[in-house]
Structure 1
């Protein structure tokens, strides 16, 4: 269960710690470490803001406000009525995460904005400055219909951006001045050789998704809502976030800012929430299910997953997810799902099931308790509708409803996280990522790492023996490394791969990919945790290269990915205990190794003073396990 180990809240007198002009028209909120400074200012009745990081302007004068559906701008004739301020300093332990605990330290100002004119109004604007970034949101004590958010992000000069139109589309590099389309968040910008900025969204629960578009006449990014937003009662908007760092890796290390901006865990008993590794069962047969269970038990996996087709065609509204009725276009069966679930239980393996949104939307109340009664441990919500306020609200209600039935959730397709897993940690992971289903080369994965992964866990649907690894994606050592670099509490390691004993002609995906072979490097996946006590980004740049180190207990795991150019990787081991010696197992691509996967394993003694030097070819990778010497 999440819990605060130490919490310190100070409610300060009006404007203590903030700079103010006379009359009151300026509020300054600095981060506890002094690196960030958020300035809210009112000039001639118009609110705007700026952000500094290390005394450099990273957001220039940018507009704020909302527009209601009747055309009223809640950003005209504005004045500051009052400011309530506080400090917060705590640490909390997640149910699972990229760290064993997270720091949550910030300065906050809640600003009451009076809106004059013929119909006076009030809007509250909350500002938080953390050591990891700044965030702000709008709050109203009464209902409203909102057609537009006026929020802008004016980035200096004409920075380089890494953007994608949709959550699963290619991520590409462009200049702000050349941006034509509305793009997804988070968005990464490079302002100089040693200054990066990321724009994001946190705590999107029942609002409309906010993407980012460019105002052509000004070269300024602005929030573009995916639908009108209507509230009958009081509401708060999602947080808009601005993070900065001297490297993109510094921002990635601080991605827990989004978790901190969400409410604490609301699930009292979390013992049933269990991270783990997964193999997908692709044949939709009893024989295939049993083979996957045996493989999972042998190779220290925790789950098998039956994907689309177990209850009929996922695209047919007539398909009934309360029955086991195999889609004949995917498999000839037979599938005795209860028998597989019972066999899996005897081996301490959990079963996950995919359910398309068509069945969920009409059968959610019936399906969730039924699957729990079957002994299912979790559900992958498939092709959910996202973006609009209606479907955003529906989806998070479906996560809460799953928690009531003690079911863990993985969300398929376009959904991108905004930190809700802190509040409902049964939301284990989600796609919203250009994963292995799209056969991305390492260079694209490296774009994903420094953009999408700033938002939180990503289900990358890893595969290992699939032909696409050799033909399109890079290398097998890269696949090992990717499982360290791309964080997901549920780590799908064998998305297209079938274990021995699985039928070879069952229809669907079962025909198209290879059987798993017992190659020596599978020990890396066998040992790999999926959640961590510590995480370090040692090096990296979007599209180019990355080195990520993660610790579980006393053991460190390292993943290194290379892009399109041969590179010598120099990996310092300063994070190790300087008083102790360690044994490292290194996994490298080597075509001279006579296995299907051509991966070499090396064993070397190392300590905190060592440097690991390896030259990696284009689209190659390296993985490493470092354990205390016995």
Structure 2
């Protein structure tokens, strides 16, 4: 047995019996700081093939997964050979994240970078880098040389009884299935190995590579499948492939800072101009409507107004110029003077966000970024982005950086899933890549998004509150709950709603607007933060229910979202400061309430010994503000 790091093994319990094959030897064993999660690199002494396994508290998670990537037409590297050199590293630090779900992020891991040597890899230098956190393990390939990555062999064999949550595309519904029936899925993929053992698979720090999908081979092996060829000159660093492990879906979600830790620290030196907040979309695309939105936003403590698709002409036309106001006549008769609305918003502390479709964004970004900065635009919503290829990844990352250079915040919409890069470019506020309220999802569908899509990072759910579709999706109290359960530094709260002072839109394409109303529960949105100091996932299961608490300063926001079955939520408030008494304001659905939204607000005292007991109907929810 060739053990190059015996000190790493001294702290470990015996975790498994000898390998099934007498020729299989352990090259490396790397444990997480807490010791429960263990990555093992194995080598077949006969074929030289390398494989990897992951265990959690001695229980198998991944068993003998393949390694390696194919370069050019024939060369496969990193799949076999011996370990010639090991560079060890560890971290026991924390960093501050003013734009996330927790303001202080622990960054504790053990890392090894392994130089692999084999005659078949030719002139390429090959390293496998592995990190072990208590929340998961990650690996990536470091290649020296020049060539084209054609395919990847990395795989994750799982128990045959595993159940997985998968989605075929970024905005498709997420569904649960036996792993034997899994087809191609975007990440993350959530897996239930047993009632008390869950795993998730995905990629992080996608900076110069094509997007990875996850496919199945044999009965129960998940494979990392790259979305296109990747050319490199001099060196290549793959995105991280990770295996998250936790004992419950809630614990998995609560540890989702894992992906941020795999990314480079902020490249934006001065972040003082970055302002999260709540957003109201103007759907009239008129100056009058924009000013009405600014007035409503200022009165109800919303930070932003968005001019969406159509403000500069037909979004899919190459003739449309994103440097000039001029609405698409199919969407609005106008008139629209965006610059005057921006100036008006500044007088009331309300910023303006502008949508730009990829059709205009690609040729015009270098022109409009400084122009929008001169106008005082707060940010850009990228529409219908091109994603998937290495070139598209490079372009998107550079586009976000260019926006940062001009103090523009960013929301990336449509076919895009985050991989943690908002740590590197914190002006990337949020992104879609979720089946949001534009698709009228049921609460059960949203609960799949909470526990699966939520593992990847912020999600622009495009919440709507007064639109008729709310009763089709769930309830108004569950809409309040969504704004807590689904994290996004930009919370779009009123997607299909318009202030009463806005002009009518007879026959406008694609809209069935509802008027914004003055209902008592709007105080919840007025007081809602969009970034947090602390997050606790108290309970939940995909598709079924969720209870999540988030703290900003000394105030807690608690929310429960219910699926298709009536449920009594028993919520102990043990997370509260034991030395403090609180006022609990509880927002629940009640058909007897006379407002159109049917939300009742109850008030009661609370402390850390209180247990809230709330009976919640199917597809309903609740929200609570706990104030000292």
Query: How many angstroms does 1:506 deviate by?
Result: 5.6
Counterpart secondary structure, 2:516? coil
Contact 1:25 1:79 in 2 (8 A): no
- From 105, 116, 120, the equivalent of 1:117 is 120
Counterpart secondary structure, 2:615? strand
- Equivalent in the alignment of 2:8: 18
- Equivalent in the alignment of 2:14: none
Distance 1:375 1:510, change over 3 A: farther
- How far, CA to CA, are the matches of 2:55 and 2:606 in structure 1? 41
Contact 1:283 1:510 in 2 (8 A): no
- Equivalent in the alignment of 1:4: none
- How far, CA to CA, are the matches of 1:107 and 1:131 in structure 2? 10
- Equivalent in the alignment of 2:189: 187
- Equivalent in the alignment of 2:374: 373
- Equivalent in the alignment of 2:589: 589
- How far, CA to CA, are the matches of 1:568 and 1:220 in structure 2? 38
Q: List aligned pairs for 1:602-621, cutoff 5 A.
A: 602-621=602-621
Structure 1 unaligned segments of length 5 or more: list them: 1-12
- How far, CA to CA, are the matches of 1:604 and 1:504 in structure 2? 42
- How far, CA to CA, are the matches of 1:601 and 1:23 in structure 2? 63
- From 54, 59, 76, the equivalent of 1:73 is 76
Which string of whole-angstrom CA distances, capped at 9 and with x for unpartnered residues, describes residues 596-626 of structure 1? Answer: 0000000000111010001111000000000
Counterpart secondary structure, 1:166? coil
- Equivalent in the alignment of 1:481: 481
Q: List aligned pairs for 1:264-343, cutoff 5 A.
A: 264-343=265-344
Counterpart secondary structure, 2:207? coil
Distance 1:576 1:355, change over 3 A: same
Query: How many angstroms does 1:144 deviate by?
Result: 2.4
Distance 1:373 1:560, change over 3 A: same
Quick check: 1:64 aligned with 2:54?
A: no
- Equivalent in the alignment of 1:625: 625
- How far, CA to CA, are the matches of 1:219 and 1:211 in structure 2? 16
- How far, CA to CA, are the matches of 2:518 and 2:215 in structure 1? 49
- Equivalent in the alignment of 1:10: none
Deviates more, 1:67-76 or 1:397-406: 67-76
Quick check: 1:516 aligned with 2:506?
A: no
- How far, CA to CA, are the matches of 1:506 and 1:211 in structure 2? 43
Counterpart secondary structure, 2:548? strand
Query: How many angstroms does 1:120 deviate by?
Result: 5.3
Distance 1:442 1:23, change over 3 A: closer
Quick check: 1:400 aligned with 2:390?
A: no
Distance 1:56 1:77, change over 3 A: closer
Deviates more, 1:21-30 or 1:539-548: 21-30
Query: How many angstroms does 1:510 deviate by?
Result: 8.4
Quick check: 1:144 aligned with 2:147?
A: yes
- How far, CA to CA, are the matches of 2:605 and 2:213 in structure 1? 48
Aligned residues, how many? 613
Contact 1:114 1:120 in 2 (8 A): no
- Equivalent in the alignment of 1:160: 163
Query: How many angstroms does 1:14 deviate by?
Result: 6.5
Which string of whole-angstrom CA distances, capped at 9 and with x for unpartnered residues, describes residues 544-572 of structure 1? Answer: 00000000011000110000100100001
- Equivalent in the alignment of 2:206: 204
Query: How many angstroms does 1:69 deviate by?
Result: 2.3
Counterpart secondary structure, 2:193? strand
- Equivalent in the alignment of 1:253: 254
Query: How many angstroms does 1:367 deviate by?
Result: 1.1
**TM-score under structure 1 length normalisation:** 0.95
- How far, CA to CA, are the matches of 1:197 and 1:25 in structure 2? 23
Query: How many angstroms does 1:131 deviate by?
Result: 1.3
- How far, CA to CA, are the matches of 1:69 and 1:227 in structure 2? 13
Contact 2:446 2:543 in 1 (8 A): yes
- From 48, 52, 68, the equivalent of 1:49 is 52
- From 192, 198, 215, the equivalent of 1:213 is 215
Which string of whole-angstrom CA distances, capped at 9 and with x for unpartnered residues, describes residues 259-281 of structure 1? Answer: 00000011111111000000000
- How far, CA to CA, are the matches of 1:347 and 1:76 in structure 2? 60
- Equivalent in the alignment of 1:350: 351
- How far, CA to CA, are the matches of 1:293 and 1:121 in structure 2? 58
Query: How many angstroms does 1:75 deviate by?
Result: 4.3
Q: List aligned pairs for 1:545-560, cutoff 5 A.
A: 545-560=545-560
Counterpart secondary structure, 2:8? coil
Query: How many angstroms does 1:24 deviate by?
Result: 8.8
- How far, CA to CA, are the matches of 2:394 and 2:6 in structure 1? 37
Which string of whole-angstrom CA distances, capped at 9 and with x for unpartnered residues, describes residues 477-531 of structure 1? Answer: 0000000000000000011110120112265368511101100000000000000
- How far, CA to CA, are the matches of 1:375 and 1:485 in structure 2? 32
- How far, CA to CA, are the matches of 2:598 and 2:80 in structure 1? 68
CA RMSD in angstroms comes to: 1.7
Contact 1:281 1:305 in 2 (8 A): yes
Query: How many angstroms does 1:158 deviate by?
Result: 2.6
Distance 1:109 1:512, change over 3 A: same
Query: How many angstroms does 1:117 deviate by?
Result: 3.4
Counterpart secondary structure, 2:76? coil
Q: List aligned pairs for 1:225-240, cutoff 5 A.
A: 225-240=226-241
Counterpart secondary structure, 1:17? helix
**TM-score under structure 2 length normalisation:** 0.95
Contact 2:124 2:144 in 1 (8 A): no
Query: How many angstroms does 1:364 deviate by?
Result: 1.1
- How far, CA to CA, are the matches of 1:193 and 1:558 in structure 2? 26
Counterpart secondary structure, 2:185? coil
Counterpart secondary structure, 1:612? strand
Counterpart secondary structure, 2:54? strand
Q: List aligned pairs for 1:379-390, cutoff 5 A.
A: 379-390=380-391
Which string of whole-angstrom CA distances, capped at 9 and with x for unpartnered residues, describes residues 3-26 of structure 1? Answer: xxxxxxxxxx97263359999951
- How far, CA to CA, are the matches of 1:543 and 1:24 in structure 2? 42
Which string of whole-angstrom CA distances, capped at 9 and with x for unpartnered residues, describes residues 41-62 of structure 1? Answer: 1112111000011211111110
Distance 1:58 1:166, change over 3 A: same
Query: How many angstroms does 1:218 deviate by?
Result: 4.5
Distance 1:343 1:114, change over 3 A: same
- How far, CA to CA, are the matches of 1:506 and 1:237 in structure 2? 51
- How far, CA to CA, are the matches of 2:177 and 2:581 in structure 1? 45
Contact 2:381 2:410 in 1 (8 A): yes
- Equivalent in the alignment of 2:15: none
- How far, CA to CA, are the matches of 2:99 and 2:538 in structure 1? 22
Counterpart secondary structure, 1:258? helix
